[in-house]
Amino acid sequence: MGKHVVVIGAGVAGMEAAGRLSRNGLEVTLLEKESVAGGHINDWFRLFPDRRDSNEVREYLINLSSDPKIQLKTGASVDKLTRHGSSYLLTTDAGENINADAVVVATGFSLFRSSRKEEYGYGIYENVISSADLEKLFISGEIVISSGKAPQRIGIVHCVGSRDEKVGNLYCSKLCCVTAVKQAIEIKEHLPDSEVFCFYMDMRMGGALYEELYREAQEKWGVNFIRGKVSEASETIDGKIVVKVEDTLAGRPLKMDIDMLVLMAGMEMSEGGSKLAATSGLKTGENRFFASADHHFGSNISNLEGVFFAGTCIAPMNVTETISHARAAVTEVMEYFSNNNR
């Protein structure tokens, strides 16, 4: 009988892994807690660095994972994962039991809940929004603030919920810098007369074509980059946002009035992932993401035999890396089965 693999999470990593597993002749159950597959990519308008339409990637993933060997179950999250002999028993929140010969954990990330960074007033001040909210505005085709008008001055805050002991996240989320640059350009495309300010600590442009995008933002679009982490935001009587930040290169504290503040929310271990870690015995690391067996050559391997990691459930990754990581997970699964069959 063919082996059966359960993939937990039908985002980019889960869909890629499921598709590749089925191509290798395995039976796959793909579990997704939301009502549709796709994960975060469903909420994103365009992707960095080339600003391609995210639908193209989504369609690729849907095609890949639309295979009779793959059974997609939406609205299903995993409550329990227990080992039975050489296989695993998964119990969903609906009480369904599923047997698996191997498991791929692709529970992904959650965006940092920006209201936790209290001093930025997300959820309190009308015109403070998150990077995800801005994508929704891009999708709607209209960038407006609470007054219904287009914003003139827009601030973009890097590192919201990342590199910050106060919220318990010491790590860099790695993708928010390039997201900020991408979104800054898109704002300028929509509103050519607007002024856009990125408040950053370090520009972490370590991906293919990222630095080029940064340069384009400066040269072609006139985006302003100010080196300093925003200290606080507050609201004036006419709904403007006052930002306090130090221009650390000039050594000068600034107080700026802007119309809209966009918070680059970081990536955190997903809630589903944390729940799974708590009930399965899967180990997590100090950043609360799942802990791989080895950073260099075992990043797909967990502390449970036959359970493998794919994608951002172990650390922030971009789409390219996530897809590669999911494929690598599939390689590990195949090797696991061939070793066990011997």
CA distance 292 to 296: 9
First to last CA, the chain: 15
Q: Using the 8-state DSSP alphabet, how is residue 286 labeled? A: T
CA distance 328 to 200: 33
251 interface partner picked from other proteins, ligand SF4, none, CB below 5 to 8 A per type:
other proteins
244 interface partner picked from other proteins, ligand SF4, none, CB below 5 to 8 A per type:
other proteins
CA distance 3 to 23: 13
In the block, tokens 């290798």 appear at 24
Q: Rule CB under 8 A: is residue 286 a binding residue for other proteins?
A: no
* Runs of H (alpha helix) within 220-280: 271-280
Residues of span 253-292 touching ligand SF4 by CB under 6 A? 264, 266
Q: Rule CB under 8 A: is residue 242 a binding residue for other proteins?
A: yes
204 interface partner picked from other proteins, ligand SF4, none, CB below 5 to 8 A per type:
ligand SF4
Q: Using the 8-state DSSP alphabet, how is residue 209 labeled? A: T
Please calculate the CA angle 76-16-272 and round it to the nearest 5 degrees. 35
174 interface partner picked from ligand SF4, other proteins, none, CB below 5 to 8 A per type:
ligand SF4
What would the two tokens of residue 306 be? Answer: 């036959």
Amino acid type, 157: V
Selected binder of other proteins within 79, 195, 211, 246 (CB under 8 A): 246
Q: Rule CB under 8 A: is residue 309 a binding residue for other proteins?
A: no
Complex with other proteins: residue 190 or 229, whichever CB lies closer: 229
- Least distance from C-beta 26 to ligand SF4, angstroms? 36
Residues of span 184-223 touching ligand SF4 by CB under 6 A? 202, 204
- Based on the number of CB atoms within 10 Å of its own CB, is 131 exposed (0-12), middle (13-18) or buried (19 or more)? buried
Q: Rule CB under 8 A: is residue 75 a binding residue for other proteins?
A: no
Selected binder of other proteins within 9, 121, 306, 311 (CB under 8 A): 121
SS3 category, 341: helix
Q: Rule CB under 8 A: is residue 164 a binding residue for other proteins?
A: yes
Closest CA to 299 of 77, 33, 13, 101: 13
Selected binder of other proteins within 253, 295, 303, 335 (CB under 8 A): 253
CA distance 30 to 73: 6
Complex with ligand SF4: residue 153 or 158, whichever CB lies closer: 158
Sole window of 46-54, 244-252, 270-278, 326-334 interacting with other proteins (rule: CB under 8 A)? 244-252
4 interface partner picked from ligand SF4, other proteins, none, CB below 5 to 8 A per type:
none
* Runs of H (alpha helix) within the chain: 12-23, 54-65, 131-140, 176-190, 210-219, 271-280, 319-341
173 interface partner picked from other proteins, ligand SF4, none, CB below 5 to 8 A per type:
ligand SF4
Sole window of 40-48, 54-62, 94-102, 248-256 interacting with other proteins (rule: CB under 8 A)? 248-256
Amino acid type, 119: E
Binding site for other proteins (CB under 8 A): 115, 118-119, 121-126, 159, 163-166, 201, 227-232, 234-237, 242, 244-248, 251, 253-255
Residue ranges in contact with ligand SF4 by CB under 6 A: 158-159, 162-163, 172-177, 202, 204, 264, 266
